[in-house]
């Protein structure tokens, strides 16, 4: 991170730790959804509690980083980009937590024929988040690698969109009650929106990376 920071190693460590928490949160989210699809209620509840703890730690650490950004030696022209990046990454983790809470409260029951599709949707969504994090790390350490990670993230976001559309088409072609159809649609979209948020982060990283090269 020496590209952006002049002296402090503590700030570098904190940003790395924050991104580690985002990765952990995304993996816990994927595990939680898989447990839900397998009807492993207790395991799902444990993962929800774990994600809530991770999100809380990430929020606290993000606030510490933001305070330090104003106190340490970050290049002034980059401070706003880094602050915006951290806030947009935080929204991705928040969406993961909110999605699990929705599952916990609403208890959706999915068509058996769609269980594998929901699994694929989660896999592609979390793959998008993983590459978002790699793009963020590269922004600080290896700007030349940013473009490749963003390309991978966008690919997985596109795949999640395709799976989400496939789920919706299958649902609305079925003979389920309208309320059940809307429930299927809403939960597919809530998962897919996590990938959308991750792609938004990548867009922000791409712009910040271009600005830095000017």
pLDDT tens, position by position, 67-114: 888 776 555 667 788 889 999 999 999 999 999 999 999 999 999 999
Distance CA 214, CA 212 (A): 6
Look over the chain and give the mean of its residue pLDDT values, rounded to a whole number. Answer: 92
Q: Where are the domains of the chain?
A: 9-213
Dihedral of CA 175/179/185/188: which sign? Answer: negative
Tokens (6 digits) for 131: 């590459």
Assigned superfamily of 9-213:
Phosphate transport system protein phou homolog 2; domain 2 (1.20.58.220)
The answer to whether residue 150 scores a pLDDT higher than 50 is yes
The answer to whether residue 212 scores a pLDDT higher than 80 is no
Region 163-181: mean pLDDT is 95
Alpha-carbon distances of 113 from 38, 83, 162, 167, rounded to whole Å = 13, 43, 17, 10
Tokens (6 digits) for 34: 């898989």
Share of the chain above pLDDT 70, in %: 93
Q: In which band, very low, low, confident or very high, does the pLDDT at 213 lie, cut at 50, 70 and 90?
A: confident
Region 176-190: mean pLDDT is 95
So what's the pLDDT on residue 74? 56
Dihedral of CA 97/29/192/209: which sign? Answer: positive
Share of the chain above pLDDT 90, in %: 80
So what's the pLDDT on residue 80? 81
Q: In which band, very low, low, confident or very high, does the pLDDT at 211 lie, cut at 50, 70 and 90?
A: confident
Distance CA 184, CA 167 (A): 8
Measure the N-to-C terminal CA separation of the chain; round to a whole number of Å: 18
Distance CA 85, CA 76 (A): 15
Entry pTM: 0.92
**Longest alpha-carbon distance in the chain:** 63
Distance CA 175, CA 173 (A): 7
Region 14-28: mean pLDDT is 96
The answer to whether residue 58 scores a pLDDT higher than 60 is yes
So what's the pLDDT on residue 2? 46
Higher pLDDT, 202 or 69: 202
Torsion region of 107: left, alpha or beta (phi above 0 gives left; psi -120 to 50 gives alpha): left
Region 170-180: mean pLDDT is 94
The answer to whether residue 1 scores a pLDDT higher than 70 is no
Per-residue pLDDT tens over the stretch 116-137: 999 999 999 999 999 999 999 9
């Amino acid at each position: 991170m020496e590209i952006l920071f002049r002296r402090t190693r503590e700030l570098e460590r904190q940003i790395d730790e924050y991104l580690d928490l985002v990765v952990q949160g995304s993996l816990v989210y994927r595990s939680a959804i898989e447990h839900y699809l397998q009807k492993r209620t207790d395991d799902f509840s444990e993962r929800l509690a774990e994600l809530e703890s991770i999100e809380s730690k990430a929020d606290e650490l993000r606030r510490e980083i933001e305070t330090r950004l104003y106190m340490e030696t970050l290049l002034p022209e980059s401070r706003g980009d880094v602050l915006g990046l951290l806030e947009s990454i935080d929204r991705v983790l928040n969406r993961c937590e909110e999605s699990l809470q929705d599952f916990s409260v609403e208890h959706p029951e999915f068509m058996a024929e769609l269980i594998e599709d929901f699994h694929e949707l989660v896999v592609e969504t979390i793959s998008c988040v993983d590459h978002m994090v790699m793009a963020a790390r590269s922004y600080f350490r290896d700007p030349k690698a940013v473009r490749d990670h963003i390309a991978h993230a966008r690919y997985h976001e596109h795949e999640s969109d395709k799976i989400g559309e496939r789920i919706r088409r299958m649902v609305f072609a079925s003979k389920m009650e309208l309320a059940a159809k809307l429930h299927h649609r809403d939960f597919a979209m809530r998962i897919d929106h996590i990938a959308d948020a991750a792609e938004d982060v990548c867009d922000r990283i791409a712009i910040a990376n271009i600005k830095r090269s000017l």
